[in-house]
Amino acid sequence: MKPKLTIVKIGGNVIDNPELLDSVLADFAKLENAKILVHGGGKLATRLGEKLGIEAKFHKGRRITDQAMLEIAVMSYAGGTNKSIVAKLQALGVNAIGLTGADGNLILSEKRAVKTVDFGFVGDVRKVDSEALRNLIQCGFVPVFAAITHDGKGKLLNTNADTIASEIAIACSDFFDTELLYCFEKPGVLANSEDGDSVISLLDAELYQRLKAENKVHSGMLPKLDNCFRALENGVSVVKVGSEKLLSDQNSGTKIQP
């Protein structure tokens, strides 16, 4: 039997709320099996850009990463955010090691080709080195990934944190029984995105299509759920979306069904 590996992704709204962040990290520290943390932090990067006079640009909710924004993203995700999360985990007794995809060539990606929109320096993941990750975990390290990868030719690329988490989970399924948990600021996938009491406990592909058609699932939840289904179709055992409670309560949030 393969050992269990839990991959937890935390989004920008969790990182932005110090109490929520501390609570997620405390629960993450308590997980006894092998684990990896992946974090976003888009909102913080937007604010850092504003302070430096660089305005964030989006197309249909997705960031456009020009050279100036790439520098902000690297400073923010791989710098301040990543290192402060690592320090907090160290204080909780977790031997966290902060990483981008460039470190140890762990995540190789390719700059997105320009079709109708030029997203700039955005990377689509091509390869995750699951063997190197396994070695790090076996040495006792807990990898903490920022949303930055590289192209192998010297260029760092901004990469969606939800996608990094699902690609890591898929690749690590070679060696581990993988569980992928997406923690964000709401209690799960909601039947009505404004009503926190409308959590859908089980979501399959058919229900997802219906919710999409009815516009009940929209914006950031669409790529998140696409990543969830892709993970389940590619060897990941368990995928859930929910609040910080996902880490401590088995029955919390939304379980995604293949």
Ligand X SMILES: Nc1ncnc2c1ncn2[C@@H]1O[C@H](COP(=O)(O)OP(=O)(O)O)[C@@H](O)[C@H]1O
**Composition of the chain by helix, strand, coil, percent to 5:** 40, 25, 35
Euclidean distance between CA atoms 109 and 158, whole angstroms:
10
Choices 68-76, 103-111, 166-174, 216-224 (CB under 6 A): range interacting with ligand X: 216-224
Residue choice 219, 234, 249, 258 for contact with ligand X (CB under 6 A) = 219
Closest approach, Cβ 104 to ligand X, in A, equals 25
Is the CB of 108 or the CB of 157 nearer to ligand X? 157
Draw the binding track, 133-172, toward ligand X (x: CB under 6 A; -: no contact). ----------------------------------------
Euclidean distance between CA atoms 72 and 80, whole angstroms:
11
Choices 19-27, 96-104, 152-160, 206-214 (CB under 6 A): range interacting with ligand X2W: 152-160
Q: Which residues between 115 and 134 bind ligand X2W (CB under 6 A)?
A: 122
160 binds ligand X2W (CB under 6 A): yes
Residue choice 74, 89, 172, 217 for contact with ligand X (CB under 6 A) = 217
Is the CB of 37 or the CB of 147 nearer to ligand X2W? 147
Choices 74-82, 99-107, 150-158, 186-194 (CB under 6 A): range interacting with ligand X: 186-194
For residue 29, the one-letter residue type is: A
Q: If you compute the radius of gyration of the chain from its CA atoms, what whole number of angstroms results? A: 17
**Is there a contact between 37 and 81 (Cβ–Cβ < 8 Å)?**
no
- From the number of C-beta atoms within 10 Å of its C-beta (0-12, 13-18, 19+), residue 127 rates as middle
From 248, 239, 242, 255, select the one nearest 7 (Cα to Cα): 239
Q: Going along 148-201, which residue ranges are E strands?
A: 148-150, 156-158, 177-183
Under the rule (CB under 6 A), what is the footprint of ligand X?
11-13, 40, 184, 186, 189-190, 193, 216-221, 224
